[in-house]
Structure 1
Amino acid sequence: MEPKKNPKADLRRNSGLYFVLGLALVMALVYVALEWKTYDEVQDYDISLNVEDQLDEEVPMTEQIKTPPPPPPPAAPEVIEVVEDEEEVEETVIESTETSQEEEVIEVEDVEVDEVDEDIDVPFAVIEDVPIFPGCEGAKDKRACFNEKMQDHIRRNFRYPEIAQEMGIQGRVNVMFTIQTDGSIGNIRYRGPDKNLEAEALRIIEKLPKMTPGKQRGRPVRVPFSIPITFKLQ
């Protein structure tokens, strides 16, 4: 015989209802817990300041500053009487500078004006008589001979500075100087990429010999001249 269960003893019969009721109860408890608010106990305090009626320190009273009265208005100017000038003024007589035919005209001798020799600079490219480099006295083209002798002088006296070689410095130094009226070299100016190269270019120009000065209209003049000196490492 198979045993028969009592339907009242089946625990799973109302399990769904119990689950819903339990879920509703838990949600209610959670809601109450979230909405629960607490307030601090309020105590009545006297927040009024305790100010004594009498002050120990005396408050000084502000003195009233008396401003001086405005100055009185200036007095009205006195009436100025106009007095006629009765003094006679002598008129200045301007004599005429024109000569009449009766006056003798004194002849003035011719005044000799001394010609002033002005020191002027005439560029090498336009001067009539170029400066003569020693050794070019008998040359037909003294200008070309001057340039050739100048290049030969630079080649013979050229010496590359050792410190510039070690540092790998090279470049071109532009040198400008003036051949004076006595044939000497002066007013030397130079500009280059390095002071050592400039010093070597200055040394070369200072070794130039004395020359025959250039002439313009037969008179010695100063002649500016410029030349580049190139320093190039091999």
Structure 2
Amino acid sequence: MVSFDSFLSDKKAWAVLGVPFTSHQVPKPPKIEQPKINEVPNDEEIQEKFEPILDIEFPEQPVINTPALPTGPPIEDKADEIIDFAEKMPAPPGGMEGWNNYLSKNLKYPRQAVQLGIEGTVFLAFVVNKDGSIQDVEILRGVGGGCSEEAIRVLENAPDWKPGLQGGRPVRVKMRLPIKFKLN
């Protein structure tokens, strides 16, 4: 029995089939000439040979152009503008540790959610105003069993936050916040 590989390399077998046997050789890659490396003198030699190309002269009293102050109307504060990101984002009093303490004291697990064994995270969106007050609380994703309503209640009754700052001035910022409900 003849193997397939030996059959393919047998010129007589190809002649029996009426197919001329051709062999191919991979061409050699062209020879690449290496660039000539010229010796570069060290830094000291270069410094000795250096001659300034430009001779720059400065006037004794330089002219200083000061920009003109704007003469147009003052920049208007857009009181109703709500931004998504500020240079300094709003924060609850006491930071996240203070927020967690507030939640542990004020968040009540709804009775219906306990009876039905409902757990999950409620995602809320709200606006922190320039004075730190919270408004426009809405549910982005709720879990049911009264958990969403309890999350809204706790957030609306929360103490005022530190407002967001943009350019050193307080601004209204839209925030997103998860509140997690987990049974022990």
Which of the five TM-score ranges fits, normalised by the shorter chain?
0.5 to 0.7
What is residue 225 of structure 1 aligned with on the other side?
Answer: 175
Q: 1:217 to 1:229 in 2, by over 3 A?
A: same
1:131 maps to which residue? 90
Mapping of residues 92-171 of structure 1, within 5 Å:
112-119=72-79, 120-123=81-84, 126-131=85-90, 133-135=92-94, 146-171=95-120
Is residue 197 from structure 1 mapped to residue 150 from structure 2 by the alignment?
A: no
Choose from 203, 207, 213 the match for 2:163.
Answer: 213
Question: How far apart, CA to CA, are the structure 2 residues paired with 1:178 and 1:188?
Answer: 7
Q: Sort the Cα spacing of 1:195 and 1:166 in 2 relative to 1 into closer, same or farther, 3 A.
A: closer
Indicate how the Cα distance of structure 1 residues 133 and 228 shifts in structure 2: closer, same or farther if over 3 A, else same. Answer: closer
The one-letter code matched in structure 1 to 2:88 is: D
Q: 1:25-77, CA deviations, whole angstroms, 9 ceiling, x for partnerless residues?
A: xxxxxxxxxxxxxxxxxxxxxxxxxxxxxxxxxxxxxxxxxxxxxxxxxxxxx
CA shift, 1:202, in A, is 0.8
Report the Cα offset of residue 218 of structure 1: 2.0
For 1:157, the aligned partner's letter is N
Distance 1:133 1:169 in 2: 27
Selected match of 2:123 from 171, 174, 199: 174
Q: Which runs of 5+ in 1 are unaligned?
A: 1-109, 136-145
One-letter amino acid of the structure 1 residue matched with residue 177 of structure 2? I
Quote the Cα distance in structure 2 between the aligned partners of 1:162 and 1:226.
Answer: 26
Instruction: Write 1 or 2 for the structure with the bigger share of strand.
Output: 2
TM-score (norm: length of structure 2): 0.54
Q: Could you say what secondary structure the match of 1:165 adopts?
A: helix
Give the secondary structure class of the aligned counterpart of 1:164: helix
SS at match of 1:129: coil
Relative contact order (alpha carbons < 8 A, sep ≥ 6): 1 or 2 greater?
Answer: 2
Q: Please tell me whether Structure 1 or Structure 2 has the larger radius of gyration of its CA atoms.
A: 1
Secondary structure of 2:82's counterpart equals coil
* SS of alignment partner, residue 146 of structure 2: helix
TM-score calculated relative to the size of structure 1: 0.43
3-state SS in 2 of match to 1:222:
strand
- Structure 1 vs Structure 2 CA RMSD: 2.2
SS of residue in 2 equivalent to 1:201: helix
